[in-house]
């Protein structure tokens, strides 16, 4: 598959090892894993941070294999999922950082293009999340609104 904003082919990143059962050396059983996920979510960790903490500190290599559900599904079922999905939040934060840079360096053409590409991705993701009802109906990205949300 080709890249969106580049004229070259690309490969996806890493792949998980093929494993179908939860390893016996893992310290936590499914109930303990879910409890740990909820505890970390209440301390305002993102889903990716939760996954890394479980992997590094609690020896849970794959939450989906351990519990049968993904971290985001566990959070949704316990009504702890964030209002804005994590990938969209990360893109908005990137756009804010570039906007701050462009306010100081007005002639930086490379980052002006980067800003346009990131905002395009934000609009595309917003459209997708509206279609899947993951975002509130009236939610729309604007740089001024994003600045208020994340700063």
Handedness of CA 39, 43, 48, 54 (dihedral sign): negative
Distances (CA, A) of 32 to 20, 27, 113: 19, 9, 46
pLDDT at 137 (0 to 100): 86
pTM of the predicted model as reported, rounded to 2 decimal places = 0.82
In this structure, is residue 3 part of a structural domain? no
User: Domain ends where: 77, 103, 133?
Assistant: 77
Q: What percent of the chain has pLDDT over 90?
A: 66
If one counts the domains in the chain, the total is 2
In this structure, is residue 14 part of a structural domain? no
Of 17-26, 79-88, 115-124, least confident by mean pLDDT is 17-26
In a shared domain, residues 136 and 92: yes
pLDDT tens for residues 70-99? 999 999 999 999 989 999 999 999 999 999
In a shared domain, residues 105 and 132: yes
pLDDT at 2 (0 to 100): 62
| Structural domain harbouring 142 | 86-150
In a shared domain, residues 50 and 99: no
In this structure, is residue 6 part of a structural domain? no
User: Domain ends where: 55, 77, 99?
Assistant: 77
Nearest partner of 125 among 143, 144, 139, judged by Cα: 139
Q: Name the average pLDDT for the chain.
A: 90
User: Domain ends where: 47, 77, 107?
Assistant: 77
CB neighbourhood size of 118 (10 A):
20
């Amino acid at each position: 598959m080709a890249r969106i904003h580049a004229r070259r082919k690309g490969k996806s990143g890493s792949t998980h090892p093929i494993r179908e059962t939860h390893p016996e050396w893992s310290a936590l059983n499914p109930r303990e894993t879910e409890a740990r996920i909820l505890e970390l979510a209440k301390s305002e960790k993102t889903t990716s941070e939760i996954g890394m903490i479980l992997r590094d500190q609690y020896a849970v290599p794959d939450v989906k294999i351990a519990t049968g559900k993904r971290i985001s599904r566990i959070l949704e079922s316990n009504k702890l999922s964030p209002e804005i999905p994590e990938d969209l939040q990360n893109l908005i934060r990137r756009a804010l950082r570039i906007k701050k840079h462009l306010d100081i360096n007005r002639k930086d053409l490379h980052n002006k293009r980067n800003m346009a590409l990131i905002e395009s991705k934000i609009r595309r993701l917003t459209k997708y999340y509206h279609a899947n009802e993951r975002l509130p109906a009236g939610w729309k990205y604007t740089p001024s609104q994003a600045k208020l949300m994340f700063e």
